[in-house]
Structure 1
Amino acid sequence: MDARQTGPVADSLDRRIISALQIDGRASWHRIAAALGEAERTVVRRGTRLLDSGLVRIGAMALHGRSTVVGVRCASGQARVAASALARRPDCVFTHVLTGSPDCVAELLCPREQLPSLVMDELPGLPGMVETYTLPVLRHIRTIREWHSGLLTDAEIAALSGRHPSDASASSPSSGDVPSSSAGDVLPPGDMAQGLSRPDRLLLNALAEDGRCTYEELGRVAGVSEATARRRLGALRREGRVRIRAVIEPALLGLPVEAMLWVRTAPAKAEAVAAALADSIHVRYASFVTGERQILVLAALPSESALHDFVTRGPWLRDVASVDTSLVIGSLKRGGMLTRRARD
């Protein structure tokens, strides 16, 4: 049992509830309690406290466009300014300020046909920018939408994600509007957003503000019945058009050290490195990107000594030629939601 803490996250049960919300941000307290084998009243009390604290937020991210990672080298003292400008873009998934170079990095959802405009017209106008690096994502190995911190068993994850524990490659939900948790994130087509009706767009806008708002509230905002709102959200989740999960600082789960890794490997060994990275609970995000260093990794660990071990002794390093490591020293956006640092 973890030692009691004075903050909103008190012990391992709180962390397990957070982990459950990372699997499905709209899971009922009843379902979470059943999956974790805890009393429902306890889960309701603790879960409500975690959400009310503001440190755990439930966000919905509509998936449209293709991912592009942007690194920015900034003028002295301008990293926060440039990172803030990136974070406030509606197509931005995450923005982190880093040690070393680049000074900040962001993932943007940009249809490929709009990439020339992004590179030639929009990014050059970033305040405080000296140089930008644009790295289109060729394939996700893992996104933060699939990451969990290893606090839940396979059976608990299966109970929350609606699939059998042994079915690691399930691609369709077994019931309700609960999406399956896939091993990798399927890149959506660039025109996905164009296929959404006005009620669907209104529904997703409401979920972006509060991923746990009721179907009655969603129906009222979208101008449809509660039953229609339930049916439309279920369809959007099954089609992979939206992901709903807890957005947190990894420190809440005992992982306060975050690092961005730029990994270079021989092309023939890239898939083996990717598979090894996907096996690590410390890898929150990993993608194949264009450029000299083929794999970009965001990792979260309990200490800097653990990070040292991860980048010098990890089993995933067997086929790696080089690793450049930058510490994350500030996050302005996570999971499509501005952090408290960015909102203040």
Structure 2
Amino acid sequence: MSAIPVGALDRRIIGALQVDGRASWRRIAAALGEPERTVARHGTRMLEERTVVVTGAVAHGSAALIRARCVQAATRVAAGALAHRRDTTFTYVLTGTADCLAEVLSPDDRLASIALDELPGTPGLVQCTTLPVLRYFRTVHEWQPGLLTAAEVEAVREYPSMTPSSTDHRASELGREEKEILRALAEDGRLSHDAIARLVGVSEPTARRRVDWLRRNGVVHIRAVVAPEVLGLPVEAILWIRVPPVRVDEVGEALLGSPWVRYAAAVMGEHQIVADVTVPDRFALYEFVTRAPWVAHVESVETSLVIHSLKRSGVLSGTGVRR
């Protein structure tokens, strides 16, 4: 991905792709009230420059956050190794008590091997804490940073918004053709039905029906991956939130009231909720962690600044290489 500066219309087009990454330029143009040719030109340019990447993400196992400490001067090496794992969805380098954070998706029966055998052998890592995800309140797939009005969002949206399950294994039960469609969408989430049909060896109507079924049943989630600074939100932080057990759901739902919250999950461990937030500046972050209504219901908030992102939604940052 790249962080090429974009204009106001570009950001609104990105906002529309975040609602539905496969929406046609015609539908996006109608929703935004802009000429179709203009929208198509701007959107195609951003896709070609990889300012935004549209990919199909599949929930293929249970999620766990890996909070790691690294050997001094080896953080880039360790974080890079985590980012290049096929099972990680994001990898960040942080300030604070943890040097990096990654999310891993894997079958339950592989968690022991990952935690006991694979992660300890990662170059540069000296300590890892594995935090299994119990529930997602929001994933980046659902993140809407307030670029569009509610009416514009509904005009673009064709499929209902669905929160991926942290234990969704439905993809493993699919046939060969469906799995090939998923692989094609992982490479290019906007690949046409005709191109998918030719790749898989089915008719175009069959490809269209199967893509529709995969999306409506939450097997694949089409994501528009973009660096937050492109959208005017250059400050990103991870919040480690301690909450009384009876208030976990209340605080998690309250976090969803902010368009700055990209990701929020209930996890095992000493912190009950982990959230990823992006804001315009550090003062806005200060306001969010000290004066937002949800703060009144928590015991403590530890804040780590994201100083480098190596991977987002399975897409390696800066290289244009997809997972």
Q: Distance in 1 between matches of 2:161 and 2:115?
A: 33
Q: Distance in 1 between matches of 2:74 and 2:195?
A: 41
| Equivalent residue in structure 2 for 1:93, among 73, 89, 109 | 89
| Equivalent residue in structure 2 for 1:331, among 302, 309, 323 | 309
Aligned length: 319
Amino acid at match of 1:126: T
Structure 1, unaligned runs of 5 or more: 1-6, 163-178
Amino acid at match of 2:255: L
Per the normalisation by structure 1, the TM-score is: 0.89
Map residues 154-303 of structure 1 onto 2, 5 A cutoff: 154-162=150-158, 179-182=159-162, 184-189=163-168, 191-303=169-281
Name 2:49's counterpart in structure 1. Answer: 53
TM-aligned CA deviation for residue 342 of structure 1: 8.2
Q: CA separation of 1:323/1:271 partners in 2, compared to 1, >3 Å: closer, same or farther?
A: same
Identical aligned pairs, as a percentage? 51
**Structure 1, 284-293 or 305-314: larger mean CA deviation:** 305-314
Cα-to-partner distance string for 1:268-295 (whole Å, 9 max, x where unaligned): 2222211210101100000000011100
Q: Distance in 1 between matches of 2:105 and 2:97?
A: 22
TM-aligned CA deviation for residue 83 of structure 1: 1.4
- 8 Å Cα contact 2:59-2:164 kept in structure 1: no
Cα-to-partner distance string for 1:123-178 (whole Å, 9 max, x where unaligned): 1111111000100000001000000101111111112223xxxxxxxxxxxxxxxx
Per the normalisation by structure 2, the TM-score is: 0.95
Q: Distance in 2 between matches of 1:101 and 1:193?
A: 36
TM-aligned CA deviation for residue 188 of structure 1: 4.1
Map residues 87-126 of structure 1 onto 2, 5 A cutoff: 87-126=83-122
TM-aligned CA deviation for residue 300 of structure 1: 0.2
TM-aligned CA deviation for residue 187 of structure 1: 3.4
SS at match of 2:236: strand
Q: CA separation of 1:155/1:342 partners in 2, compared to 1, >3 Å: closer, same or farther?
A: closer
Cα-to-partner distance string for 1:155-207 (whole Å, 9 max, x where unaligned): 11112223xxxxxxxxxxxxxxxx2114x433343x42321222222222122
**Structure 1, 7-16 or 289-298: larger mean CA deviation:** 7-16
Name 1:167's counterpart in structure 2. Answer: none
Q: CA separation of 1:20/1:342 partners in 2, compared to 1, >3 Å: closer, same or farther?
A: closer
- 8 Å Cα contact 1:65-1:192 kept in structure 2: no
SS at match of 2:276: strand
**Structure 1, 316-325 or 215-224: larger mean CA deviation:** 215-224
Name 2:295's counterpart in structure 1. Answer: 317
SS at match of 1:318: helix
Cα-to-partner distance string for 1:11-51 (whole Å, 9 max, x where unaligned): 22211100100111110000101111222122111111211
**Structure 1, 198-207 or 272-281: larger mean CA deviation:** 198-207
SS at match of 1:67: strand
- 8 Å Cα contact 2:4-2:230 kept in structure 1: no
| Equivalent residue in structure 2 for 1:140, among 129, 136, 140 | 136
SS at match of 2:141: coil
Cα-to-partner distance string for 1:51-73 (whole Å, 9 max, x where unaligned): 12211111111111011111111
Q: Distance in 1 between matches of 2:164 and 2:10?
A: 27
- 8 Å Cα contact 1:9-1:50 kept in structure 2: no
Name 1:172's counterpart in structure 2. Answer: none
